[in-house]
């Protein structure tokens, strides 16, 4: 199941990259839910603005909740980055974008005790001329930290299918190249045969091959 989630997450990131490059559109991608102990874990939180041309004041608050515990605020972005006093202090990094649509953070040197629920709370106050509506969005990330990453049966099957697909596409490309080469070769041979047959016709018969022109 973990491998399947990683495949889906990778596909989502590729879709995000492709869409972002081709059309510049913001796409909300879910965060990964499993991390390996000692690694750098990015907690993905994307909150797209429907009307990018309208300016807004954005405030981002991150919370952490251990199993059986209460929500504790660990990070805040309100015109400036600020780590709050918590067990994560010194291990958090801002990974957001300049337009404040990506408001992700990263946890450095993540440990087994960092498993739990992370909450991303985004509040936007839009600056319209007549009014200032407030929009709030909350994203929950149920994170599990494991000692070491391992490949399960689903991951192995996915890799095998990927290699089979690559082999199939390579063979198909080779077949298409051979087919096109033979087709071009036959066309050239036919043209040479027609030219040879024409040269073999006596000169008096060549005049009869011309098409008469009517007045």
Would you write out the chain's pLDDT as a tens digit for each of its 215 residues? 444 444 444 444 444 444 343 444 677 788 889 999 999 999 999 988 876 657 889 999 999 999 889 999 999 999 999 999 999 999 999 999 988 999 999 999 999 999 999 999 999 998 887 888 899 999 999 999 998 866 556 667 777 888 898 898 899 888 988 888 888 888 888 777 776 766 666 665 555 555 555 55
Rounded to two decimals, the pTM is: 0.59
CA–CA dist 208, 210 (Å, integer): 5
Q: How far is CA 215 from CA 75, 207, 209, 212, in A?
A: 93, 19, 19, 10
CB atoms within 10 A of CB 74: 22
Residue 44 burial class via C-beta count within 10 angstroms: exposed 0-12, middle 13-18, buried 19 and up: buried
């Amino acid at each position: 199941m973990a491998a399947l989630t990683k495949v889906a997450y990778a596909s989502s990131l590729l879709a995000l990259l492709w869409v972002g490059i081709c059309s510049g559109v913001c796409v909300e991608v879910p965060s990964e839910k499993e991390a390996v102990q000692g690694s750098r874990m990015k907690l993905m939180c994307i909150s797209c603005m429907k009307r990018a041309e309208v300016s807004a004041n954005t405030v981002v608050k991150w919370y952490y909740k251990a199993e059986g515990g209460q929500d504790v605020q660990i990070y805040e972005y309100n015109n400036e980055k600020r780590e709050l006093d918590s067990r994560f202090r010194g291990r958090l990094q801002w990974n957001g974008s300049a337009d404040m649509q990506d408001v992700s953070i990263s946890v450095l040197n993540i440990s087994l005790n960092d498993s739990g629920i992370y909450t991303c709370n985004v509040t936007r106050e839009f600056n319209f001329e007549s009014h200032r509506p407030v929009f709030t969005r909350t994203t929950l990330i149920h994170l599990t930290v494991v000692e070491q990453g391992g490949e399960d049966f689903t991951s192995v099957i996915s890799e095998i299918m990927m290699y089979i697909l690559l082999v199939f596409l390579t063979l198909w490309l080779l077949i298409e190249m051979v087919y096109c080469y033979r087709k071009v070769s036959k066309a050239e041979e036919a043209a040479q045969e027609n030219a040879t047959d024409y040269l073999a016709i006596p000169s008096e018969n060549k005049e009869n091959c011309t098409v008469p022109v009517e007045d």
